[in-house]
Amino acid sequence: MNVTLSAARANGKVNLHLGVGEVRGDGYHELSTVFMAVDRTETVTLIPEPDAQVTSGVVAGMNTTCHVRVPDEDLDTPKNLAWRAVNAICDGAHVPPVRIEVDKTIPVAGGMAGGSADAAAAIKAAVGYMSQHGFEVPAERVQEIAAELGADVPFALMGGIALGTDRGDALVPMMGRGQYWFAFLNPRVGLSTGAVFEKLDEMRFNDVSLVPHMDTTLLSRALLSGDPVQVGAVMHNDLQAAAVALHPRLKALIRDAEMAGAIRAMVSGSGPTVAALCPDRETAQTVVEEITRSGAVEGFVTHGPAAGAMLL
């Protein structure tokens, strides 16, 4: 059998709404979130290395090429979600070892689910690689592995627009009209998702006004209108207060983005990336150019909704 490389891509996301409930018995928070996939792509390629020696699983090594700020930590380890995804999909199958190549355009620890997109693309690529060897991975197993890897991975596989409940991984597709343009702005730092959730819990203990916002009805209606002004008016993120408390520069970044022409700017997910919803592509480009001029912030323009993970 002539086995070639297997490649797939997956997109990042923005949380148009992120309601965070109380901590559950399993340590996770109850979430009510509206995801929108945006056209900012992570690409994962599996390159067969039949002669490589591996001690566990099928992954012989990994290399990540970053087209955004390079993080301080080493991404290319067995802890990486893409590495874990490939080993999980190929578990128990006698297939040649592979090297993983990741082409990254989403900021690391930026609140856009870049790691989850890597995992989703790796899952798709690994399923394709298994198929080359005559192994078909059941769809139920794919979804099970996605949920085990992380709460955002199932949506990275799915794409589009969806309501996420439970840990954020119980998904229901949502209707939406139109195309939405964003300027994404990252202050060249990372924020730990766990640290942001912990900070929110701490702040809520001392401030009873920080109540969970779990109702997504108004946003659902706004998305049906196709009007970015209506959508911007009801965007919300419970984690924003905590992210700003940990990284106070975000408050000015949000203000500056709106002054530059954004309809609404807010922290994306757990941050620190700020998602600035704009009326059109040209305005989004203007926002990026103005905010990134000093070099302290990196930014890019993209739009949604975008597709889920797919083989290339």
Catalytic residue among 103, 118, 124, 152: 152
Asked whether residue 164 is marked as a ligand-binding residue, the answer is no
Asked whether residue 222 is marked as a ligand-binding residue, the answer is no
Asked whether residue 116 is marked as a ligand-binding residue, the answer is yes
Asked whether residue 114 is marked as a ligand-binding residue, the answer is yes
Asked whether residue 159 is marked as a ligand-binding residue, the answer is no
How far apart are alpha carbons 161 and 172 in whole angstroms? Answer: 9
Evaluate whether 69 touches 296 at the Cβ level (below 8 Å).
no
Largest pairwise CA distance in the chain: 64
Task: Name the 3-class secondary structure at 148.
Answer: helix
Burial pattern 111-125, b for ≥16 Cβ within 10 A else e, equals bbbbbbbbbbbbbbb
Evaluate whether 60 touches 49 at the Cβ level (below 8 Å).
yes
Asked whether residue 107 is marked as a ligand-binding residue, the answer is yes
Task: Name the 3-class secondary structure at 20.
Answer: strand
Give just the sign of the alpha carbon dihedral 273, 277, 280, 282.
negative
Nearest residue to 184 (alpha-carbon basis) of 13, 10, 9, 11: 13
In this structure, what are the phi and psi dihedrals at residue 87, rounded to the nearest 5 degrees? -65, -40
Asked whether residue 190 is marked as a ligand-binding residue, the answer is no
Q: How many residues does the chain have?
A: 312
How many beta carbons lie within 10 A of that of residue 41, not counting itself?
19
| DSSP letter (8 states) at residue 307 | B
Catalytic residue among 13, 104, 124, 199: 13
User: 182 is written with which tokens?
Assistant: 């964003």
13 carries an active-site annotation:
yes
152 carries an active-site annotation:
yes
How many beta carbons lie within 10 A of that of residue 290, not counting itself?
16
Asked whether residue 44 is marked as a ligand-binding residue, the answer is no
Asked whether residue 131 is marked as a ligand-binding residue, the answer is no
Asked whether residue 187 is marked as a ligand-binding residue, the answer is no
Evaluate whether 31 touches 20 at the Cβ level (below 8 Å).
yes
Asked whether residue 92 is marked as a ligand-binding residue, the answer is no
* Amino acid at the residue 86: V
Binding site as annotated, residues: 107-117
Binding site as annotated, residues for ATP: 107-117
Residue positions annotated with a catalytic role: 13, 152
